[in-house]
Amino acid sequence: MTLKRRLYRGRDVRRAQNITELRAMAAARLPNFCLEYLEGGADDELTLHRNRASYDAIAFTPRTLVDVSVRDPGCTLFGQRIEMPAVIAPTGFNGLLAHEGDLALAHAARDAGIPMCQSMVSTVALERVAETGVRHWMQIYPFKDRENLAGIVRRAEAAGSEAIVVTTDVPMLGNREWDRRNYRAPMKLDVANLINVALRPKWWWDVLVPHGMPHFRNLGDILPPGQDDARNAATFLSRQMDPSLNWQDVQWLRELWPRKLILKGIVRPDDALRARALGVDALVITNHGGRQLDSCVAPIEVLPEIRAAVGPDMTLIVDSGLRRGGDFVKARALGADAAMSGRATLYGLAAGGRAGVAHALAILRAEIDRTLGLLGCPALTDLGPDWVSGAGATRGV
């Protein structure tokens, strides 16, 4: 008898072999509306699928007869060593996946020796996350209320945050239809989803009981009084997105913030050059994980063009679509200093809290290390474009 292939869906995160298996475990634990929020993309989800397909289209060109008995998957980022070329990406509403999920992400990132970028719409105060000792970056949305935005920037400075990461690709929210289908009215679940929630007691005992609906702990001065929980704040926050955001706002933030300033949402070489001219320290090349503009280019496709435009000295981080350690190696070979992981680590969080995030990062690090060995490349820092072939490797060259 031939056994059918199937993914492990139990509770022991240590049994997960890869990120896909952690996703299956997360799907078994989360209510449908949480999983849909985590996974969904904009419109027809063409960008979402392109992100993965672009990595799949890149092939390695390994060398042979190379001594790879000692390997180093680490590198430096802003002059400090990280143990693998990864940063935990900023993601909001993480308290809906696990209680105080942002703290779990921070502890796991610290232990793995990589930075964490905390979302402005996270559900744990930035001061508490920074206190974990992780290399803390703070992401901000340039909301219309600039005075209160400046207050968050000053809080990050006081907390010792290494960088401010400005999200530039959300002048308005993308059209995430599959996410919206779960609700009969804004933030009011339909009957089918309410029943689905009732069938996930482990989730609601962790997330809702006795803590109640998670709150936005970094937005108290922006939200109306008593409206800082995830249910009540969503509509208000969508109205705070500022379609007038422009390069003058970047200049304002550069003058306000004394440390590393990172722009997140760049996919064009001309925008990258303008950012460099304004004194921006680094760019995150991203299409927001396929959640904003559909039919957008994949970041890994345009990475070589942007690297060629800005030169070797500007820090570039690529985001969107990474699921395997080999994807991080491909990104590094094509010119990225590091890559951000959003969904991959959130699957670990949803599957098993802090232990799940730690296991997700351990999986990625082991895959990076193994990929380097099989490539015949002992050190991550030795990688270059000649180690890969395919669409992503040749675009713009």
The encoded tokens of residue 291 equal 């959640």
End-to-end CA gap in the chain: 51
Separation between Cα atoms, residue 355 and residue 108, nearest integer Å: 8
Active site members: 288
The percent of the chain in helix, strand and coil, each rounded to the nearest 5, is 45, 15, 40
The set of residues, in sequence order, having a beta carbon less than 8 Å from that of 390 and lying 6+ positions away, is 57, 58, 59
Separation between Cα atoms, residue 272 and residue 149, nearest integer Å: 24
Task: Select from 44, 48, 37 the least CA-distant residue to 290.
Answer: 48
Residues 75, 81: contact at Cβ < 8 Å?
yes
What residue type is 254 in one-letter code?
R
Task: Select from 314, 309, 306 the least CA-distant residue to 334.
Answer: 306
**What b/e string do you get for 19-36 counting C-beta neighbours within 10 Å, with b at 16 or more?**
bebbbbbbbbbbbbbbbb
What residue type is 233 in one-letter code?
A
